Amino acid sequence: MTRIFLDNAATTQLSSEVKQAMLHAMEDLYGNPSSIHNEGRRARAAIEQARKTVATAIGASIGEIFFTSGGTESNNMALKCAVRDLGVRRIISTKVEHHCVLHSLDALQRDEQVEVEFLSLDAKGHISTEELQEKLQSTDTPTLVTLMHANNEVGTLLDLEAVSAICAEHGAYFHSDTVQTIGYYPLDVSKTKLSFCSGSGHKLHGPKGVGFIYINSDNLIKPYVDGGAQERNMRAGTENIYGIIGLAKALSSMMEQREVLEQQVRAVRDYMLEQLQAHFKDIMINGDPTGQGHYKLLSVSFPASPKADLLLLNLDIAGVSVSGGSACSSGADAGSHVMDALYPGSPRKTIRFSFSHHNTKEEVDSVIEKLRSALSV
C-alpha cells in the first residue's frame, strides 16, 4: 500500500538534491573544520559557504547566523540568552507557542528570572496589536516579545512587520519562532527588524538535528555552550557539517522555487478544505486557513464520537499519516495545548493535515474516502 503523508508540519521528506549534497560532503569533507590543514580548511569553507547561503536567504549578515541542533535549541538560546545577557526581565508571549518556547518560559519564571505575560487570542488564534501596545506602554521593565510566525498546529500567521514595528517603537526585543515559515515565506530581516529568529532543517525538506538562530548583531550575547571557539565562540562543539550543508541546500532550493511550490501546496490544501466541507457536516475549521494562515496547514475538528476518537489510528491503518495536534514529543496523543487555549473544553477530535509539494489532489480524494469510511459517513 502506498502511504499518504499529510504530516508535513511535523517533518518533511529529505529532498534528493539535499541528499546528494550531504552524500558528497560525507564522502569528501571529513576534516575537522577547526583544523588548520587542508582537510580542515575545506570543511570550514563549506560551513562558511552554508552560513552565507542562510544569511542571504533571510537578508542577514553572515555574522548574525549561528548553526544549532534545530529549532528547539535556537528558541531556548534566544530566550535564555536574552534574559541572562540582555537584562530582559519581562517576556510577553501567547499560550499557543511551541513547547520549546513555553517550557523555556516556565524554566525562566521558575528561577524567578522573569515575569511572563500572555496576550489574549481571538478564535482564529490572532493576537491584538492594541493589547501588545498597551502592555509595552505599561512599564519600563526591559521586555522581550516572543511570538511565533506561524502556529504549527493551526497555521495562524502573525503580522511580523506590525509586531516588529511596535516592538521597535517601545524598545522591546522581539524573538519570533519562524521554524514553520523559513523557506515558505519571504523574510528579510534587514527590513523587518527582529532581535532573534529560528529555523530548522527538517521542516523544509532538509535533515533533522540541525537548525540555525539569527541573532541581530546589536545583541551582544555570551556563549550558550562553552568549550570551544566554534560558531564564533557561541556554541562549542565540532560542527554538524553534513547537517549544515543539507540545511543550506534545502533552504536555497526552497527559496529558489518558493512561489511555484506555494501555488502547488496551496492548491492541494484548498482542495482538501473544499472536499471536507462538501462531504462532512458539522466540521469546524480551526485557525485562519482562508485568511492569515500558513498555506501548508489545515486543522479540522470533527464532532466527538467513538469513531472520531479512533480516527488517527484508523487513518494510519488505512495508510494515511496525519497528526492530532503537533507531533507530540512523548509519542502519545496527549491532547493539544493549542486547542485547549483556543477552544477550551471542546470535546471535538482535531486532525491536523499538513501538506508538501509531494501531495496531490488524487491523494486528497483517497483521504476523503478513507475518512468517510472511518467515520461511516
Nearer to ligand PLP, 185 or 280 (CB): 185
For 220, phi then psi, to 5°, come to -95, 105
CA distance 152 to 96: 9
Per CB under 6 A, does 70 bind ligand PLP? Answer: yes
Q: Which of residues 127-156 bind ligand PLP (CB under 6 A)?
A: 148, 152
71 binds ligand PLP (CB under 6 A): yes
Q: How far apart are CA 115 and CA 106, in angstroms?
A: 10
By CB under 6 A, the count of residues binding ligand PLP is 13
Q: Which is nearer to ligand PLP, 247 or 320 (CB)?
A: 247
31 binds ligand PLP per the rule CB under 6 A: no
Do residues 95 and 116 make contact, with C-beta atoms less than 8 angstroms apart? Answer: no
Q: Which is nearer to ligand PLP, 72 or 299 (CB)?
A: 72
Q: Does 179 bind ligand PLP (CB under 6 A)?
A: yes
187 binds ligand PLP (CB under 6 A): no
DSSP string, 131-165: HHHHHHHS--S-EEEE--SB-TTT-BBP-HHHHHH
Output the nine-digit C-alpha cell for 252.
536555497
Buried b (16+ CB within 10 A) or exposed e, 138-156: eeeebbbbbbbbbbbbbbb
177 forms part of the interface with ligand PLP (CB under 6 A): yes
| Residue 91 binds ligand PLP (CB under 6 A) | no
Instruction: Count H helices and E strands in the chain, helices first.
Output: 12, 12
Q: Is 356 in the site for ligand PLP (CB under 6 A)?
A: no
Q: With CB under 6 A as the contact rule, which of the stretches 51-59, 70-78, 213-221, 317-325 interacts with ligand PLP?
A: 70-78
* Smallest gap from residue 187 Cβ to ligand PLP (A): 14
Active site residues: 328
Interface of this chain with ligand PLP, residues 285 to 324, rule: CB under 6 A? none
Judged by beta carbon, residue 136 or residue 248, the one nearer ligand PLP is: 248
3-state secondary structure of 198: strand
Distances (CA, A) of 123 to 127, 149, 159, 184, 285: 10, 17, 16, 24, 11
Select the residue interacting with ligand PLP from 72, 76, 301, 350 (CB under 6 A).
Answer: 72
Smallest distance from ligand PLP to CB 335, Å: 16
Burial class from Cβ neighbours inside 10 Å (0-12, 13-18, 19+) for residue 97 reads: buried
Stretch that binds ligand PLP, among 173-181, 221-229, 233-241, 301-309 (CB under 6 A): 173-181
Cβ count within 10 A of residue 62: 12
SS3 (DSSP) at 349: strand
Contact 240, 12 (CB under 8 A): no
Binding mask 205-244 for ligand PLP (x = CB under 6 A): ------x---------------------------------
Q: Which stretch binds ligand PLP (CB under 6 A): 46-54, 120-128, 176-184, 215-223?
A: 176-184
Cβ distance to ligand PLP smaller for residue 79 or 374? 79
- Cα 314 to Cα 375: distance, rounded to the nearest angstrom: 10
CB of 261 to ligand PLP, least distance (A): 18
**Which residue lies nearer to ligand PLP by CB, 148 or 375?**
148
- The DSSP-derived string for 37-78 is SHHHHHHHHHHHHHHHHHHHHHT--GGGEEEES-HHHHHHHH
CB nearer to ligand PLP: pick between 44 and 205? 205
Tally of CA atoms within 13 A in the half-sphere of 93 that contains its CB: 28
| Contacts with ligand PLP, residue ranges (CB under 6 A) | 70-72, 75, 98, 100, 148, 152, 177, 179-180, 200, 211
